[in-house]
Structure 1
Amino acid sequence: MEYLFPSFIDQYIDELAKKGRKDSTIQRYMYDLNDFAYWLHKARSTTEYINWKSITKDELDLFFHVLSEERKYNVRTIRRIHSVLKQVYQYRKSLGQSELSPIQEIIPPELHSGPLQESEWVDQNEQRQLLSTLSSKNGLSEQQLEMFSFYKERNEFIVRLFLHYGLTLHEVQQLSMNDLRFERNEIHIQEDNRIILLKENDKQLAYTYFKAIPEPVRPRFYSQDPFFVSFDFKRKTFHWSYDDDEPKRMSPIAIQKMVRMEVKRAKLRKGISAQTLRNTFILTTLLHGESSDELVQRIGYTTPLSMNRYKNTIDSITEKQKQRLLAGIL
């Protein structure tokens, strides 16, 4: 997939060779850069040339989220990839260019991950404020008000899947119609074949959103059609992909942007993301007494070791912080 590279990558690799870097090091750099380029094109759903000056912090955040939460890369590997991208940025900066400049804002994980910081979860007041705003018309523009009824339940259901069920961004984005079993209040997560049991009010929320989609572009029952469909504000309806002959699936970046915009509308602090909401679910569930072994199976982790950071967080936070977290399911 090297054709995805901008031309300056070849120049950068030549510079590494001139500096005497080992062939194995150069091959590793090429692998990491190729992997990032391929992911970027897939995330943007394009095979066209991408100007790396257009890469955003949101995209880089999502890329490192994928490395950590979906691919389960270890911290050293993630730090290495971060270093490769940062060195490319520094190389371009030395030439007066700005490719990959948002990498400066991305902080790589520490080698020895300590407890989560308080900014990495939301307390019960923030949860209530966010959920209340999602179902209200507060802060909406005239254009948004006109189309709010189409996507209101969609956005709220997505947030609830993160906050009350602990689904990952990837799991939510990949949901298809045959994963939603309305008659049994179930969601099927295909990757690890696990079943999520929905509360009745959340099932109703999902079904209301589904019925709000105009029938010509509505996902078809018991099909691979995406459940979460992208909304087209210009045409005032949901997107249809003529290439795939199905509704257009919301991208991870679109979901991430939606969460950020709803957080802003709720007048909450910056930085609250899908991962922040999932962290909240895990911490709250542990505080309610569920064992880490049970929770590992429930949220699809492959090893109990994945829970260590959350258990360390529970052990390190104050009683006051615990109380602020214990909102229960709203």
Structure 2
Amino acid sequence: MILTLPDYIYVFMEDLQLAGRSKLTLKQYESDIKKFFVWMDKHKENTEFDTFKALRAEDIRSYFLHLHHLQLSQATIRRLASVLSRLMKFHQCIAAEEIHKLAAASPLRALNDKDFITDKEFTQLMKRMKTKDSEQQKKSARNYLLNRNIAIVLLIRTYGLTPTEIHSLTMKHINFAQKELMVQTNEQRRTFQLQESMMNYLRDYFFSIPPLFRPKYNSKDPLFVAFNNISLSFQYDYDRQRPKDLSVRAIQEMIKDEVRLANLRKISAVTLRNTSILDFLQLGYLDDVLMERFALTSEASLRRYKQYLENISENN
């Protein structure tokens, strides 16, 4: 069992850190890479750099066959492929391009109606999210966070952001005066012009934070600050001397809770983002525009939405 990764992996991790990757991203990368080196240690009997550099296409195919035998989801396999591809490209390995082809070619499950939220469901969700808890639940943390929660859900449903992208937003990424939001994904930068209603939720949330814990303008402070449900207070990271980041998991759990309170079926951040992508596809935007707007990594991802629309058209 691999407990510690080889030194040449940490050179790659240090490069990611210097590029500004979050601690959460680095932790995920390390976990994903470790899965590959557990396999490599077993099948190649060592994890030395020369062995790693010499890996060929047949080795990579063997690894992906191993992942399929573990019955991992296609989404997980694609993520592992993407991480491994970056690592091998960083070290200029021969098999790097083969991984990219395998990642792009991995079959994706066909989308169906359950992968999208209907207008009726979204209206019901928004109505419940705007409703405070009862007097008996007055000390509920949720009552302090209505505007924050609505802003997050709208960023996913209307603008197509992911929980990871929302977690990574800092005060440098938001311009309250110009109503602009900038999202940095790897080497790609996307700018969104926010609607006034969206800005109102963000401003109300921002000024609900006590000045001592409030993120500073044009700083690396997180736009969305973690909240302690017991003390009913926004949290501060004293080691880093700034407000504490709201985690990806907290965003996902918030959506799950709000969906449950609205008495809706299982709806996640992925469901909301899927619907945003579908909306823009129906508006007739070109493929390259859509891939840039939603930071899609392959045309195969976009093809699923097109196929879904074709299936709807054929059944009507």
User: Into which bin does the TM-score normalised by the smaller protein fall?
Assistant: 0.5 to 0.7
Q: Which amino acid aligns with 1:159?
A: V
Q: Which amino acid aligns with 1:179?
A: H
How far 1:212 moved relative to its partner?
Answer: 0.5
> Counterpart of 1:286?
281
Quick one: distance in 1 between partners of 2:214 and 2:76? 29
1:299 paired to 2:294: yes
How far 1:309 moved relative to its partner?
Answer: 1.1
Q: Normalising by structure 2, what TM-score?
A: 0.66
Q: Answer whether contact 1:150 1:213 (CA < 8 A) is retained.
A: no
Any stretches of 5+ residues in structure 2 without a counterpart?
6-34, 53-71, 85-104
Q: 1:241 aligns with which of 237, 261, 271?
A: 237
> Counterpart of 2:191?
195
How far 1:117 moved relative to its partner?
Answer: 2.0
Q: 1:134 aligns with which of 126, 129, 132?
A: 129
Q: 1:166 aligns with which of 160, 163, 173?
A: 160
Seen in structure 2, the aligned counterparts of structure 1 residues 138 and 266 have a Cα distance that, compared at 3 Å, is: farther
Q: Normalising by structure 1, what TM-score?
A: 0.63
1:210 paired to 2:230: no
> Counterpart of 2:13?
none
> Counterpart of 2:68?
none
Deviations 1:157-207 (A, max 9, x none): 000011000011211110011101111111111231110111111011111
Quick one: distance in 2 between partners of 1:123 and 1:267? 14
> Counterpart of 1:157?
151
How far 1:2 moved relative to its partner?
Answer: 2.1
Q: 2:258 aligns with which of 242, 257, 262?
A: 262
How far 1:120 moved relative to its partner?
Answer: 1.1
Seen in structure 2, the aligned counterparts of structure 1 residues 25 and 180 have a Cα distance that, compared at 3 Å, is: farther
What's the Cα RMSD here?
3.5
Q: Answer whether contact 1:185 1:199 (CA < 8 A) is retained.
A: yes
Q: Answer whether contact 1:187 1:198 (CA < 8 A) is retained.
A: yes
Quick one: distance in 2 between partners of 1:25 and 1:318? 53
Q: 2:44 aligns with which of 2, 24, 28?
A: 24
Any stretches of 5+ residues in structure 1 without a counterpart?
5-12, 32-60, 75-109, 322-330
Quick one: distance in 2 between partners of 1:204 and 1:70? 39
Q: Secondary structure at the match of 2:182?
A: strand
Quick one: distance in 2 between partners of 1:189 and 1:210? 18
How far 1:291 moved relative to its partner?
Answer: 2.7
> Counterpart of 1:223?
219
